[in-house]
Amino acid sequence: MNDKTVIVYLPLKPEMAKANNLPIKLPILVQDMGNVLDLDRIDLDIIIRGLEAQCLLESDDYYESYLIYYYYEAFKRSLNSGNFDESKKFLERAGKIKKDYRYHFYLGLLLREEGKIELSEIELRQAIEMNREFYIGYYELGRLFQLQEEYDEAVSSYVKSVEKSGGQFPLPFVATIDCFISKGDYSAAMEVIDNVNEQFPLYSEILLRKGVILNETQKYSLAEATFSENIGLGEDWKSFYNRSFSRARQGKLFEAYDDLKTAFKISGNSEVLYELAISEKNMGMLEDSLSHCERYYNETLDEKALVLKARILDMMGDYDSAIEATEERYVELKNVLLIHKYLAEGKIKRDLPFEEPLNEFYYRSLQNKIARDGFSDCRLIESGRINIERLTELLTELGIDDLTERISLLSEGLLPGKTREVTLPEVGLFTTLIFEMQFFPSQQEYLSYLMSFLVSGKGKTTAIFKTLLYLERWSLSGLPFTIEAFVDEYIEEIKDLSFDFGLNIARIIEYGGSDIDTFEEEQDVDPEEAVLTIIYSLEKGTISELRTPDYSLNNYISRLSGAGG
């Protein structure tokens, strides 16, 4: 020790010393005294320098115990900041004084961070062998197993941690639930959750996981309620983010969108931007969707954003930019975009290959129609894109009071306070418009999102429109129609918009649907039931016999007749 080293002993209040695990008389180097501005907040390095000087001056178990403790505090600080070299130095200093269970524990943590899994396990096991009541050691061993996806071993360690802590250590409860979720054992996870009460210190984390499980098990309404309860405890962005999924699957498009905006405002998490872009696309808000999609890509360089960007630009009628945004390896998508461009220009391009038969036959059919009948304009298309003002005029001309009121509010830039159910005349108008827009496939897609939001605001309406569009394209392709093939091709997209409607389509495979006589006897035809009956009639080959109360929808059904059987 330097002869000029001078130590000052700071007297600490007993409660302050106890709270910070410090000696009542804290040794501080005199040159550090000017940096001790607050006795309640003394810098870690100042504490270590003073304790080191004291232990060099006089070997003393009393001060050495505090020095070891603060070496490990400095070790944790360095480890958490990713400075492994500095962590090792503090660990070695502590080990030179005493290698107790803590030394092996912290060495195990360092080795785990360095990816030396087997060595980490050895050290962590050594720590709990030396101190069998060390519940944090069991917990960190469990985390090691969990990182290796060895979930049974992880749960076993977490249970030990709970037992050794007398149930007072909350982290292994949450980690056990995470393991069960990762295994897909939702019933076991819910069993743990059901045994946790509202006084649990991490109750918010428990509720978050409960909501995730309810989403995974397709109980979206219960999941929404659970996330809402959690949001009531504190505005956690993850609850807003996950609730948006619950709401979207129930067709609550704007509520889901609102949750995503809140989640991003709280967190700034880039992943939220991508989901926000999808949500906006699903409501026909293409400019906003494109902006968030591009921002997401700029922040993450995630290539899935380029695919979404291309599809958005395609619906915006900016075909050249859509093609430019698509990498060469996405051959199918690039060729779809190219043919959309040629079709919009009234041109035929027969040498574009498609791997998917549905695309091959559908686009071939469109080009054959142009070659045979010539290119036909559409009253709704202006400069290659839907004229929204003209669309709102057509909707107002239907003379449906609550629809007219909704359109009026939207035209003024106001959001209606509630959604509404789509009516059969609106469905009929949609089928008429997609027929008129047959040479503008990207604008048909855009219409299915935009018109749905204008007339209804419900995801189920979008799902109905998308289904009708895809049935028409299937008919044009000339391929034989089966419900199984249709479900394989489109059901996931439809379920994303309205899980219940998608499920009802899938159920036709097992349970069948309404026959034509039963359907036509109904006094008030529900649009969803009409679409389900159309699908079932296509499957049975009786589509040509089906009639509805709407003239336009009947014309649509006549066009589908070639797809039955």
- Residue 57 lies inside a defined structural domain of this protein: no
pLDDT of residue 37: 66
d(CA 82, CA 553): 64
- Residue 445 lies inside a defined structural domain of this protein: yes
| Other CB atoms within 10 A of residue 349 CB | 14
- Residue 453 lies inside a defined structural domain of this protein: yes
Q: How far is CA 343 from CA 202, 317, 340, 368, 431, in A?
A: 58, 11, 5, 11, 20
- Residue 484 lies inside a defined structural domain of this protein: yes
Give the domain range for residue 552. 420-561
Q: Are 257 and 265 in contact (CB under 8 A)?
A: no
Q: CB-based burial of residue 320 (10 Å sphere; 0-12 exposed, 13-18 middle, 19+ buried)?
A: exposed
- In sequence order, the β-bridge partners of residue 458 are 252
Tens digit of pLDDT at every position of the chain (565 positions): 555 789 999 888 888 889 889 999 999 999 888 887 666 678 999 999 999 999 998 888 999 999 999 999 999 999 999 999 999 999 999 999 999 999 999 999 999 999 999 999 999 999 999 999 999 999 999 999 999 999 999 999 999 999 999 999 999 999 999 999 999 999 999 999 999 999 999 999 999 999 999 999 999 999 999 999 999 999 899 999 999 999 999 999 999 999 999 999 999 999 999 999 999 999 999 999 999 999 999 999 999 999 999 999 999 999 999 999 999 899 999 999 999 999 888 888 888 889 999 999 999 998 888 888 888 778 899 888 999 999 999 999 999 999 999 999 998 888 887 899 999 999 999 999 999 999 999 999 999 999 999 999 999 999 999 999 999 999 999 999 999 999 999 999 999 999 999 999 999 999 988 888 878 777 788 999 999 999 999 999 999 999 999 999 999 999 998 644 4
- Residue 488 lies inside a defined structural domain of this protein: yes
Q: What pTM value is reported for the model?
A: 0.88
pLDDT of residue 564: 45
Among 105, 111, 110, which residue's Cα sits nearest to residue 125? 105
DSSP character at residue 498: -
Tokens of 182: 């990762």
d(CA 240, CA 227): 7
Is residue 376 classed as helix, strand or coil in its secondary structure?
Answer: coil
pLDDT of residue 35: 82
pLDDT of residue 565: 41
- Residue 149 lies inside a defined structural domain of this protein: no
pLDDT of residue 3: 57
- Residue 233 lies inside a defined structural domain of this protein: no
The CA-based dihedral angle spanning residues 342, 344, 347, 349, taken in that order and rounded to the nearest 10 degrees? 30
pLDDT of residue 5: 83
- Residue 280 lies inside a defined structural domain of this protein: no
Tokens of 119: 């060595």
Chain-centre distance for alpha carbon 26? 51
Specify the number of domains making up the chain: 1
Transcribe 295-355 into DSSP letters.
HHHHHH--THHHHHHHHHHHHTT-HHHHHHHS-TT-HHHHHHHHHHHHHHTT---TT---S
pLDDT of residue 1: 52
